[in-house]
Amino acid sequence: MPATLPDREPTLRVVPLPADVNQHGDIFGGWVMSQVDIAGGVLAAQRARGRVATVAVNSFVFKQPVMVGDVVSFYAEIVRVGRTSITVDVEVYAWRNPTDLVSLKVTEASLTYVAVGTDRRPRPVPVE
């Protein structure tokens, strides 16, 4: 089902390649998951002003397959900031069929990151 992209810049935009497909010709779900983690981590690290580590995947829903050649956009949004943790929602859209461009929402996820210091132990998230 065609979708409208969020009215903001994506956190990450990637084009999957033939090396990223499974035996059925769709992009591996694990590839999508890793890109979602990268996009969420970028935003969490900006908010934490430093290193973060993924501590939980709260939810992950694949709505449509991702195909080779799709332009995949990852839109991340912080939904909660705790003392040491940051929860980020990520929506994933694919642009498909360049001759008659279609935009589809393919995945949505929620991940929690923890801010860590140089010792890799949790540290407080700075107050904005």
pLDDT digits (tens, 9 = 90+) for 54-82: 999 999 999 999 999 999 999 999 999 99
* Alpha carbons 44 and 39: distance in angstroms, whole number: 9
Element (DSSP H or E) covering residue 30: helix 29-48
Would you give the distance in Å from CA 81 to the centre of its chain? 17
Kindly state the tokens that stand for 67: 């195909």
* Alpha carbons 85 and 70: distance in angstroms, whole number: 33
* Alpha carbons 90 and 27: distance in angstroms, whole number: 18
Tens digits of residue pLDDT in 4-37: 889 999 999 999 999 999 999 899 999 999 999 9
Residue whose tokens read 């996009």: 39
Q: CA-based angle 36:61:110, to the nearest 5?
A: 50
| CATH class as words, domain 12-115 | alpha beta
Strand partners, 73: 13, 93
What pTM did the predictor assign?
0.94
